[in-house]
A and B are shown apart, each in its own frame.
Chain A
Amino acid sequence: MSSVKTLNANAEVMNRAAALFMNINAAKGLMDVMRSNYGPKGTIKMLVSGAGDIKLTKDGNVLLREMQIQNPTAVMIARAAVAQDDITGDGTTSIVLLIGELMKQAERFLSEGTHPRVLVEGFETARKATLEFLETFKQPLPTPPAAADADGTAPPAVDRETLRCVARTSLRTKLAEPLADQLTDIVTDSVLMVRRPNQPIDLFMVEIMHMRHKLDSDTRLVRGLVLDHGSRHPDMPKRLENCYILSCNISLEYEKSEVNSGFFYSSADQREKLVAAERAYTDERVHKIIELKKKICTEENGKSFVLINQKGIDPISLDALAKEGVIALRRAKKRNMERIQLACGGFCVNSVEELAEEALGHADEVYEHVLGEEKYTFVEGVKNPHSCTILIKGPSDHVIAQIKDAVRDGLRAVKNGIDDGGVIPGAGAFEVAAAHHLRTVTRKSLAGRAKLGLDAFAEALLGLAKALAENSGHDAQETIIKLQEEHERGNVVGLDVVTGEPMDPVTVGVYDNYIVKRQMLQSAPVLAGQLLLVDEVMRAGINMRKQ
């Protein structure tokens, strides 16, 4: 009888066996839900809402969010998966599987009377050993010969081919092959485009835009920007070529209505004058812009002028600009202002005094695209694109959403590849090799019961490879044996999901992110250990959830 009971009669208490049972079951249950998603041959989940809306996902994180988990153990595991997603952008299914496998293996030993503490010690040793092994298993990105004209302004060259492989590996687990292969180049190129020397890669500079239009295979990379709004004046040109781009944060509307509130004027005449004066102030700014346009856009150079404003532009100002043949967009997204500078050059102007030719960017063409009630403006053909847009097209919202999720993960994978400076051969190769390493090398350096935990850990790692084989329709045990045999011959082997035979992931080009594996190995065993060491579950005192 727990002493909590004497203090609070309403407290719920679970003893050690029940607590362990609950934890193990929750972990296994969560694993069972996610297991079939794992790998390029896993099933996709289609979630149909009460209203008939569809959500397609293979992303463990999305699934966890949609499932609205209540079980406290499952919530803990889901948090670990969310952290995994935050840090690496991928591997959420893997981490849930690894925790589940660890708990499953532990259950076997526990049922034979092993104390959880012993297992946890073994897990800890195994975790350290595996992380060390991961370092040796990592393959550095091949460094291509530096370009002849490298002058330090361009970021150091990286091996595009390896990064393509990383992107493809990630995308193929989320999308059908032809589409994944098409997106591979898009994703790789866009990350390489936004890279700048001596600065971390900012993936926000890759805009992901979507249009419900045509087919998913029409998805493309726009070297420039796509804005989700158009001009608000019927007479404005719909298309301009060879454009100066002015990005600014200047209000071009007559906004203050203080003059209406009555304290500032005594007659209607005076009021009119005040209104006119206010108006003149706005007009003045518009004229400054038009002056600049007239000065630099001449008949000879054939240039045209595009204004993208973060603030508003009212109809009178729009009218004045339209008369000059300027495309003017108002209320651009804050982040797009940053993107415009990176894509087109120039800088964002905050007051009319700063207006000058140096502030302007350039684009080969700017045009409007109307889709139903929505307008899009394309800014294409920019000089030095350090920002770009992935324009996703698809026949329906759920397909677009699915592609969007996959593209996000793909972008993260390429970024991780560059940041890590190395990759891990995929297709289960690491798991098989690590398990083998633990059993042959690490086990020898270990004495006593900790070996049990080590064995459980090695078996759990193999569980990931087994899930891969199972999902691809092969016999898990047989495949694993084949892989292990091949590995013992000293090769790095992964699973060919099509044939079920061992293959070399390096020649096929299946690479995983180093950081994904590392994060998974760091957090999964720790959490599994914590769950195993729970010997009492209490629910007392404040219940935060309003029931």
Chain B
Amino acid sequence: MKVSLEINGQAVETEVSAALRLSRFLRDVLGLTGVKEGCCEGECGACTVLLDGKPINSCLMLTFQAAGREVTTVEGLDGSSGLQDAFLQLGAVQCGYCTPGMLVAAEGLLLDKSSPSEAEIRHALAGNICRCTGFETIVQAVAAHAATREGACR
């Protein structure tokens, strides 16, 4: 079936099969390999994308369900915003597998709430699992970035 949607600001029109997951479409068809399919059951969050600005698990959505909507993957995040730099500077990345999902989930949080508390950051990232860092530096990176972004807005 034919589906039109917007991905990272670009209009995309494509033919997809009914059962194609959004995560597979993004990775395999469009080559957006920042989207990782870790568990395919909504536990790990490595496939997190923004759907109309809100974080979702792209493995738990069929591509045709995204018709007419806006999808943002890590490739579509503004790399100059500083969130990614904050991850690098605070050592919030080790193997890197969870990082795209973490970044997208964090971006979703910051779109909703510009200066989240540590508890709110942890709650917002609870759907993203990292096996390396112990989460501490990830939470610090999101908090540090939120502080600079908030400062820049004033």
Does A associate with B in a complex?
no
Interface residues of A (CB under 8 A from B): none
